Amino acid sequence: MGRAAGGAHSRHRGAEVTDAPAPGAAMHALVRELYPICRSITGDGLRQTLARLGGDIPLVRHEVPTGTRVFDWTVPREWNIRDAYVKNPAGERVIDFRRHNLHVVNYSVPVHRTMTLAELRPHLHSLPDRPELIPYRTSYYKESWGFCLPHRQLEQLPDTGYEVCIDSTLEDGHLTYGECLVEGRTQEEVLISCHACHPSLADDNLSGLAVATFLAQHLAKQPRRYSYRFVFVPGTIGAITWLSRNEELTRNIRHGLVLTCIGDRASFTYKRSRRGNAAIDRAVEHVLSHADPGHKVVPFSPYGYDERQYCSPGFNLPVGCLMRSHHGQFPQYHTSADNLDFVTPQALAGAFDTLLSVFDVLEHDGHYLNLKPRCEPQLGQRGLYGATGGSGPKQVEMAMLWVLNFSDGEASLLDIAQRSGMPFAVVREAAALLERHDLLARAT
d(CA 339, CA 32): 9
Enter the DSSP assignment of 106.
Answer: B
Distance CA 166, CA 131 (A): 24
Q: How many helices (H) and strands (E) does the chain have?
A: 12, 21
Bridge pairing between strands 253-259 and 189-195: parallel
CA–CA gap between residue 274 and residue 268 (Å, rounded): 19
Report the distance separating Cα 428 and Cα 412, nearest Å. Answer: 10
Q: Residue 180 corresponds to which amino acid?
A: C
151 annotated ligand-binding residue: no
DSSP states of 181-239 = EE--SSS-EEEEEEE---SS-IIIIIIHHHHHHHHHHHHTTS--SSEEEEEEE-TTHHH
Cα-based distances in Å from 292 to 235, 251, 405: 28, 32, 29
DSSP secondary structure code for residue 110 in this structure: P
Cα 257 from Cα 342, distance rounded (Å): 23
Q: Are 54 and 178 in contact (CB under 8 A)?
A: yes
Instruction: Write phi, then psi, for 437 (nearest 5 degrees).
Output: -100, 20
Which residues have a Cβ under 8 Å from the Cβ of 378 and sit 6 or more positions away?
none
What are the backbone angles phi and psi of residue 87, rounded to the nearest 5°? -110, 145
Q: How far apart (Å, rounded) are the C-alpha atoms in residues 226 and 190?
A: 7
47 touches 34 (CB < 8 A): no
Total length of the chain: 444
Cβ atoms < 10 Å from Cβ of 394: 11
Q: What is the C-alpha to C-alpha distance for residues 38 and 82, in angstroms, rounded to an integer? A: 10
DSSP H or E stretch at residue 34: helix 24-34
Residue 198 known to bind ligand: yes
DSSP strand pairing (161-171 vs 111-116): antiparallel
Q: Tell me the binding residues.
A: 198, 204, 334
Q: Tell me the binding residues for Zn(2+).
A: 198, 204, 334
